[in-house]
Structure 1
Amino acid sequence: MTKASDLFIQALENEGVEYIFGIPGEENLDLLNSLKDSPIRLVLTRHEQGAGFMAATYGRLTGKPGVCLSTLGPGATNLVTPAAYAQLGAMPMMMITGQKPIKKSKQGRFQILDVVDMMQSLTKYTKQVVSGNNIPSMVREAFRLATEERPGAVHIELPEDVAAEEAVEQVLPVNQTRRPSPDIKAVKHAVKMIEAAKMPLLLIGAGANRKRTQDALQEFVEETKMPFFTTQMGKGVLDERQDLYLGTAALSSDDYLHYAIDKADLIINVGHDVVEKPPFFMEHGGKEVIHINFSSAEVDQVYFPQHSVVGDIADSIRNVTRQIDSQDHWDFGFYHKVHDEVNSHITKYFNDNRFPMLPQRIVHLIRESLPEDGIVTLDNGVYKIWFARNYECYQPNTLLLDNALATMGAGLPSAMAAKLIYPDKKVVSVCGDGGFMMNSQELETAVREKIDVVVIILNDSAYGMIKWKQEGMGFENYGLDYKNPDFVKYAESYGAKGHRVDSDESFTKILNEALSEGGVHLIDCPVDYSLNHSILNVKIKEKADLL
């Protein structure tokens, strides 16, 4: 006989769980006691939301479900945003929540919500454990579903009385499932379409960044010499220093890159994820699209591909590469002009040393300061567009941005998780002042856990993204400005080191010293967003003569 909470921890160990992020409550005490002697490490956070973001990022980077823990009621409701973050972003994550006794209650409805029902629309799987003997199969099924394409969030509720009861079952073996290969006829038809096109163009989306598709896509690009572009969450799959990289679709329209997209007669869309803003719009009688993904396309008004290759992405691309022949009639000359124009546009302000600093300058200096495998995590704000467009990624998952839920508050917890997974890599979190303050208390967690991380706060004392939209729509500025604390003193109060940038020259010096010294560093950097409208809002019709 085994206590149910012990069996639960054994099931997690069986799945290879390394960390549980979270805040236990009294309903989790049996589970907490079972965890005490486990090799699984509990990372106690200061808010359940921070725990959920850390678990989701663990899943994003490893492909294995990250695990987070909360009590019932308010603890569980604080996991709603991380659940949506993981589900929309296709990040495998398991949430474990406690509950009052379900077999004999003496407390009425105090703190009791139907958490399983609440999680129904936010997860791939949500269940309450009603018997300790159900634990092995429930945990195994939850992990299977969390990992299976398309990955996402799962939830198990473990009531207090069930956790304390005896169970006789044993954990189930973990069997890895191979993803199916694509249909041979589908591959041949895709090859035929690509060879017949005049100006084919390769698009790399979020799905291609979830699994190891880098080698297969690089072989395809080298064989065909075909230019490519990415969505925001597809950045880094291929080294973006190569001449065939046209850029990232950071805006939905009206950008230099979109002029190239409009010229394409065929787009090979690899790893399309419907949650990302569409980087192009289809029209009947317009460009054709080949959909290459783990699953068939979700069809809507702007995306209805003419052909699909369904199966393991890397396997699909390799099959296409083996069969395709480069064509003399392919015309990539226009794309090369776009590449040069995009580079000229993006690098224009790299050396502008005005103060407060331009986001373009900050992006450039961070890229110069980090090694090739350094990781940048972003919170959410207008600066995310500048990083998507201007930050060159050399390796997969080295720029972690959220173009799915696009929530604020995830930047710092994501950086902490990344550093736990990759202790030898340099990790920088870039946050707006608004987003940082939504989970700033996790600085204490980072200090306590001895997580080396550098946090750069882009300080404009406002909700800058909404202010930019407000101005762009012709409204007067109203309701979006606030006052910030002294961020240097704030960092020091948690035991971190605080720095204030007072000139362009001081930024790189402070950043490099913080990266080399280790520990938790916070850098308060004033930012100037005044050029957002004049640079981001470039209209296609104004570029025709340039291209």
Structure 2
Amino acid sequence: MQSASDLLVACLEAEGVASVFGVPGEEIEDLLFSLRDSSIAFVPTRHEQGASFMADVHGRLTGEAGVCCSTLGPGATNLITGVADAHLDKSPVVVITGQGGRERLHKESHQALDVVDVFEPIVEWNTQIAEPEIVPESVRKAFKLAEYEKPGATHLEFPEDVARAETDATPIPTRDRVRRPDPDDDAADRAATLLESAERPIILAGNGAVRTRAADTIQALVDRLGVPVVATYMGKGAISDREPASLMTLDSGPNDEGARAIERADCVVAVGYDIAEHDPAGWNPDLEKTIVHVDHEPAEVYRHYNPDVEIVADVGAAVTAIDDRVPDGACSLWCPELHDRLLEAVTDPPGSDEPITVEGALPLLRETMADEDVLVSDVGSHKMAIAQSFPVYEPNTCVISNGLASMGIAVPGAVAADLAVDANIVAGTGDGGFLMNAAELETATRLDCGFTVIVFNDDDYGLISEKQLEHRDEQFGTGLTNPDLVTFAESFGIEAYRPDTWTEIDRVLSETVPSDDLALVELPLE
């Protein structure tokens, strides 16, 4: 016999979990001590939102569910932003929350909320573990549904009296992930015919192209047929931006040249495209394009995205099926000059007399990062610059939240990335997003993490100011004041810098980004 909390942790071990991120609480005391006696590391964070963002980014980068936990009430509600981010960004996450004993849940009681009901809209599946015997089935189901394409978050509520109860149940063995059948032959034939007959075909690579590790199959099709590729923000890296076929993202280049290219296209092969991250009305306003939908699920019903053909299958297998059916020479790279112009524009370093801007800093940052290094972007005006102007050379090396698009993800996300991958990590953030979860710098130092935080500081919620000025020619409610961020970082024992010339910025980034040390670089924007 063992306690249900010991059993739950044994089930987590069976799922291959290495770390659980969370904030301790009274109602998860048994779970915490069960984790202490296991092979799993419990990572105390400074806020539950930081814990859920860490689980979120772990899931994005590894494809394996990140795990976060909290106590009941405010602990559970503090997790919600990161869990919702995982939901809309299709990142596998398993959430465990404590709850009071069942003997008090029928009445109003201290900190008690119906957390299962609260989480219902933002998770794939959600249950209370009401009996110790159902722990194995509940944990196995949570991981299976979180990691099944399309992935997302699942939630388990664990009442404290259940956690203490004894049981002789054992973990359920894991199995290979369920995959969809191969593509339907008729749909693949029709898709190939549309691609072959198009004069200006283009591939729109979305989040799913990267998430399902379909980059190699897309590259193989591009190598043979020469079809250009434009990506959504979360599809960056589906093919290398060095490739002549890459047109970067939909908003890349002066006057959004990526969007103008897809506007010229007559056939769009949308691979792993999620409407939540980019409205199709922007690139199919007149409903004139032939669209081939390639994804693990049928297309959302949307007037501006009503595909002529849908291939619902494993994404990589579907791309290969189309490639196999289109003869050599059927397509051509019909906008080769655009790639060269885009890449040159985003890799040219700034002139010494140019003002300090995010766009100017990105070529210097790119030069200091290896192809496999990972940039975790926060949300704000700097995210738009990163999405549009930061070239990516390998899949899953630029983490952008664009489904929920939540501020505050960069610092905790960089902690998770540093633990998950063997590469240098950069957190790119604005002053607004940075201070939302800056306390996780202490978590990073405690874990001996080594990454670089770049804070683009404009003393403002800059993206909102831009929108207000565009809409009203004035701004309100967006101005901020900040502490001395260098001194703030140094108070955590972190090396910090505030370079104010391009020469100094280049030198500091060249020293910090390849280093194994934790560092903060503040760039005051002009």
TM-score (normalizing by structure 1):
0.92
Q: CA deviation at 1:224?
A: 0.4
**Match of 2:61?**
61
**CA 468–360 in structure 1, closer or farther in 2 if over 3 Å, else same:** same
**Match of 1:504?**
502
Matching of residue 98 in structure 1 with residue 98 in structure 2 = yes
**CA 296–253 in structure 1, closer or farther in 2 if over 3 Å, else same:** farther
* Residues 132 and 167, structure 1, Cα contact 8 Å, conserved in 2: yes
Tell me the secondary structure at the aligned position of residue 250 of structure 1: coil
Matching of residue 458 in structure 1 with residue 446 in structure 2 = no
AA partner of residue 140 (structure 2): R
In structure 2, C-alpha distance between the alignment counterparts of 1:120 and 1:492, rounded to whole Å:
41
* Residues 353 and 361, structure 1, Cα contact 8 Å, conserved in 2: no
AA partner of residue 194 (structure 2): M
**Match of 2:524?**
526
1:197-229: per-residue Cα shift (whole Å, max 9, x none)? Answer: 111111111011112212111110011011111
Point out the more displaced range, 129-138 or 475-484: 475-484
**CA 145–11 in structure 1, closer or farther in 2 if over 3 Å, else same:** same
**Match of 2:352?**
353
What does 1:160-309 correspond to in 2, within 5 Å?
A: 160-176=160-176, 177-250=178-251, 255-278=256-279, 280-282=282-284, 286-309=288-311
Q: CA deviation at 1:346?
A: 4.0
Tell me the secondary structure at the aligned position of residue 277 of structure 2: coil
**Match of 1:543?**
none
In structure 2, C-alpha distance between the alignment counterparts of 1:32 and 1:129, rounded to whole Å:
17
1:27-53: per-residue Cα shift (whole Å, max 9, x none)? Answer: 011111111111111111000000000
Which of 475, 478, 489 is residue 477 of structure 1 equivalent to? 475
**Match of 2:115?**
115
**CA 325–353 in structure 1, closer or farther in 2 if over 3 Å, else same:** same
AA partner of residue 148 (structure 2): E
* Residues 267 and 290, structure 1, Cα contact 8 Å, conserved in 2: yes
**CA 160–252 in structure 1, closer or farther in 2 if over 3 Å, else same:** farther
In structure 2, C-alpha distance between the alignment counterparts of 1:286 and 1:332, rounded to whole Å:
21
1:392-424: per-residue Cα shift (whole Å, max 9, x none)? Answer: 1111111111111111000111111011011x3
In structure 1, C-alpha distance between the alignment counterparts of 2:399 and 2:66, rounded to whole Å:
16
What does 1:7-156 correspond to in 2, within 5 Å?
A: 7-103=7-103, 109-156=109-156
Which of 423, 428, 431 is residue 430 of structure 1 equivalent to? 428
In structure 1, C-alpha distance between the alignment counterparts of 2:238 and 2:265, rounded to whole Å:
21
1:113-171: per-residue Cα shift (whole Å, max 9, x none)? Answer: 11110000011111111101010000111111101121111110101111000112111
AA partner of residue 31 (structure 1): L
**Match of 1:487?**
485
Tell me the secondary structure at the aligned position of residue 275 of structure 1: helix
In structure 1, C-alpha distance between the alignment counterparts of 2:407 and 2:252, rounded to whole Å:
19
In structure 1, C-alpha distance between the alignment counterparts of 2:254 and 2:133, rounded to whole Å:
54
Tell me the secondary structure at the aligned position of residue 275 of structure 2: coil
**Match of 2:404?**
405
* Residues 9 and 31, structure 1, Cα contact 8 Å, conserved in 2: yes
In structure 2, C-alpha distance between the alignment counterparts of 1:311 and 1:220, rounded to whole Å:
17
AA partner of residue 373 (structure 1): E
**Match of 2:375?**
376
* Residues 250 and 258, structure 2, Cα contact 8 Å, conserved in 1: yes
**Match of 2:324?**
322
In structure 2, C-alpha distance between the alignment counterparts of 1:195 and 1:301, rounded to whole Å:
25
Point out the more displaced range, 364-373 or 513-522: 513-522
Q: CA deviation at 1:512?
A: 2.1
In structure 2, C-alpha distance between the alignment counterparts of 1:504 and 1:520, rounded to whole Å:
22
Point out the more displaced range, 62-71 or 317-326: 317-326
Q: CA deviation at 1:106?
A: 11
1:251-293: per-residue Cα shift (whole Å, max 9, x none)? Answer: 8996222221111110111101121113544366611000011
1:427-454: per-residue Cα shift (whole Å, max 9, x none)? Answer: 1101100000000000000001100011
Q: State the 4+ residue runs in structure 1 displaced beyond 6 angstroms.
A: none
Equivalent residues, number: 524
Identity across the alignment (%): 38
1:352-402: per-residue Cα shift (whole Å, max 9, x none)? Answer: 334651211111010000111111111001111111121111111111111
Tell me the secondary structure at the aligned position of residue 119 of structure 1: helix
**CA 106–403 in structure 1, closer or farther in 2 if over 3 Å, else same:** closer
Q: CA deviation at 1:331?
A: 5.7
* Residues 262 and 283, structure 2, Cα contact 8 Å, conserved in 1: no
* Residues 429 and 455, structure 2, Cα contact 8 Å, conserved in 1: yes
In structure 2, C-alpha distance between the alignment counterparts of 1:356 and 1:501, rounded to whole Å:
13
In structure 1, C-alpha distance between the alignment counterparts of 2:392 and 2:492, rounded to whole Å:
32
Tell me the secondary structure at the aligned position of residue 67 of structure 1: strand
In structure 2, C-alpha distance between the alignment counterparts of 1:238 and 1:447, rounded to whole Å:
35
**Match of 1:392?**
391
* Residues 281 and 303, structure 1, Cα contact 8 Å, conserved in 2: no
Matching of residue 364 in structure 1 with residue 363 in structure 2 = yes
Tell me the secondary structure at the aligned position of residue 429 of structure 1: strand
* Residues 350 and 360, structure 1, Cα contact 8 Å, conserved in 2: no
Tell me the secondary structure at the aligned position of residue 133 of structure 2: helix
Tell me the secondary structure at the aligned position of residue 307 of structure 2: coil
AA partner of residue 374 (structure 1): D
In structure 1, C-alpha distance between the alignment counterparts of 2:354 and 2:444, rounded to whole Å:
30
In structure 2, C-alpha distance between the alignment counterparts of 1:35 and 1:159, rounded to whole Å:
16
* Residues 356 and 526, structure 1, Cα contact 8 Å, conserved in 2: no
* Residues 59 and 66, structure 1, Cα contact 8 Å, conserved in 2: yes
* Residues 456 and 524, structure 2, Cα contact 8 Å, conserved in 1: yes
Q: CA deviation at 1:516?
A: 4.2
Q: CA deviation at 1:295?
A: 1.2
In structure 1, C-alpha distance between the alignment counterparts of 2:46 and 2:355, rounded to whole Å:
32
AA partner of residue 473 (structure 2): F
**CA 355–459 in structure 1, closer or farther in 2 if over 3 Å, else same:** farther
Point out the more displaced range, 517-526 or 156-165: 517-526
1:495-547: per-residue Cα shift (whole Å, max 9, x none)? Answer: 2121111211111211222234422211111123xxxxxxxxxxxxxxxxxxx
Tell me the secondary structure at the aligned position of residue 407 of structure 1: coil
* Residues 253 and 389, structure 2, Cα contact 8 Å, conserved in 1: no
* Residues 252 and 342, structure 2, Cα contact 8 Å, conserved in 1: no
Q: CA RMSD in A?
A: 1.9
Q: CA deviation at 1:180?
A: 1.7
TM-score (normalizing by structure 2):
0.96
**Match of 2:414?**
415
In structure 2, C-alpha distance between the alignment counterparts of 1:382 and 1:292, rounded to whole Å:
31
In structure 1, C-alpha distance between the alignment counterparts of 2:184 and 2:285, rounded to whole Å:
27
In structure 2, C-alpha distance between the alignment counterparts of 1:264 and 1:144, rounded to whole Å:
39
AA partner of residue 265 (structure 2): A
Q: What are structure 1's unaligned runs of at least 5 residues?
A: 529-547
